[in-house]
Structure formats: structure tokens, C-alpha cells
Amino acid sequence: MSSGKIDVRSPAFPLLFLVASIFIGASLPRVSSQNSTSIEQIFQYDSYRETCPDAEKIVWSKMADIVSGNENATAQLLRLLFHDCFIQGCDASVMLNDTMGMPNQTTERHADPNKTLKGFDFVEEIKELVESECPGVVSCADILVLATRDAIALSGGPYYPAFTGRKDSTRYYTAEATEEIPRPNSNISETLRLFAQRGFNERETVALLGSHNIGRINCGFIASRINMFDNGAIPLDFLRKMRTTCQVPTSSMRNSENKLKVKRVYETSRSMQYYEGLSSSSGQLPGGGFGNHYYQALLKGKGILTADQELMANEQTAKAVFEYAEDADKFRFDFAGAMMKLSNLNVLVGPAGEVRRICSSVNSS
């Protein structure tokens, strides 16, 4: 469809709905049932239809406003969701901003890999609106999942079914986040190992990393890549473009890491136009446009992150890159399925969690 969304009336929607249902059964080790209530009754599609029937409408409406006014919002929410779900599941633990009375503690939100996360304010704004309509009903974890799904669709990406009924965590996981969030300079073996621990195969990993087709990257994340000597590992024109964009003089590459944080390298379709001379109508879409140019860049050796370009160093992941570079529809479908799987990781339901009143604090604070 030209809109870039998967319509609920189309054949693709029921198929994705079935895929989402299958993913649930494989992703729920932290489920804690309440008495005889089954998981299907707690975690399901449109779970707020009786308790807060306008919840998803509120999320969509607010995200439409946010995305129209902030072209980086979608990428920020995608990264925030990934960092939350990748560590102990989608439980909004990354949003906690207080140490709950424990001195000398660092929250998950302030763990090293999470220090540059953004998008917290978007979730809090939506939470406030939903709370005014249905106090104490909709979790921050569900709002983050729904807001990210809607932002993707509003940026021209696929619209996919999102199950709801998650609870919010009452604790954070700083050590786990520090150790287990994939690094921007990881080699392919390390990346695949971390994703495999969460049940993702090679193709699903490649599909999820396709989220890098929108947003922007802090130049500090690519220091090791643009500090490389001109040895042919990176196309020289691309290397020079990255160095110019990050304002790094060639003669001072080794001592430039602090300077790298001054400017940012953009990964939107418009940045790819800057790097590769491509023209793309997707650059006119809110949020910078969603497409398969990320994979096309990898085929030319022009991945911005080391971890991105490393996808070409493995036979299975390289095969997926080739397929997605040639078939944008296949990428979109696989990306939607991978996002549903990510969103359903290790969901927290029942008395083990809570519905926070404020996303940055547990209710007992």
C-alpha cells in the first residue's frame, strides 16, 4: 500500500496477528498469573477495550502531533523501546529515574549504554493524557510499545498489531544494561550472540537493525570507524564525508573523541542522499522516511556503525541484507514481525508488576 501501513482489512494484518500470537508463547518467562486468570485474558490484543477504550486512540493522536513536530521522535522511541525490551523484557524499567532510597546507586536509565537515550518525555506526555482519562489502568510499558508502533507507522513504516496488558517493573537492571546492550562497534559474533540469547535468529537480527534507517547517530558512536586509516576498508569518499560531518581533521583523528560529540551523523534517507547522492521521496515524510536504504548502503560498504557493516561479515546475515536491499516490502513485513517479537519479550503481568502513576517513579516512592 502506498501509505506504508498494514491496513487491518488487508490479508497481511491477520497474518501478522497470527505471528504475534505465536511470538507470545515463546516470550513469557516472567508471567505471573493472578489466581485462575489465564495469560490470554491478561495479555492480548486491545486489552483495554473495556477498562480504557480510548487508550490507543489517545496514543495515536498524541504521537501524530509529536512526529509532525519532531523528525527524530520515531528513532528516539525505537531506541528507547529496544533498550527497555532487550534487558529483562518490555517493562519500562529503563524509564525509572529514582534510586528508591538507595544511596550510591545508578539507575538503568543512567547506565553507560543508556545515557544518550531520548524520548522519555514523549511517553510521560502520553501517560499524563491517558491517566486523565483512565487513572491507574494503562502501564508505561504498554504506552512505550504503542507509541513506538504508531511512530513507525506515522513515519512511513509498517503498522502492526500490538498486544497490551503489560505491567511496569518495580525495579531497574543497571548491571544487565551495562553488560548486555549491543555495542555500536560490536563484531558480528557478539551481536548475534546477544540477540540469540533473546530468541532472535540471524534474519530477525538483520530486520531489527533495519531500524537504523531512520534517526541520527552521535558522532562519538562512530569514533573507531572514522578513526580508521585510509586502508580501503571503508570507501574513501564515505570516510571523508563522515569525517567532514563530524568535524574531525584528518591530522588529529586519534585525539578527537571528545570533538566527535559536537556534531551528529544523520542516518535518515536525507543523510543517505548526502553520503551517496541518492534522491528519495521518503525524505519528505514526517520523521525522515522509512525505507530499505540502510541495506543498500551496507552493500556499498557505507554502514555508519561498525556493527551495521559487520552484517556483511556473516553468510546468513549478508544474505538477508541482500534480500532486504532488493525487496523493500519483504523488509517491511519482516521488520514488523521482529518488532512484535521484541515487544512481546519476557512480558511482566500479574502481581509481579504495577501500573505506575508516573513513568519515572515506582508508586511507593
* Residue set of the binding site: 84, 89, 91, 93, 108, 182, 212
Contacts of 134 (CB under 8 A, 6+ apart): 48, 51, 52, 55
Q: What are phi and psi of 186, to 5 degrees?
A: -70, 150
Among the listed residues 246, 239, 238, 197, the one whose alpha carbon sits nearest the alpha carbon of residue 221: 246
> What is the spatial distance between Cα 303 and Cα 72, in angstroms, rounded to a whole number?
19
> What is the spatial distance between Cα 156 and Cα 70, in angstroms, rounded to a whole number?
15
Binding site for Ca(2+), by residue number, is 84, 89, 91, 93, 108
DSSP state of 239: H
Among the listed residues 140, 123, 81, the one whose alpha carbon sits nearest the alpha carbon of residue 357: 140
Q: Is 293 a catalytic residue?
A: no
* The Cα angle at residue 334 between residues 323 and 64, in degrees rounded to 5: 120
Binding site for substrate, by residue number, is 182
**Candidates 79, 83, 149, 293; catalytic one:** 83
Contacts of 61 (CB under 8 A, 6+ apart): none
All three cell numbers of 174 = 543497571
Binding site for heme b, by residue number, is 212
The residues annotated as belonging to the active site are 83
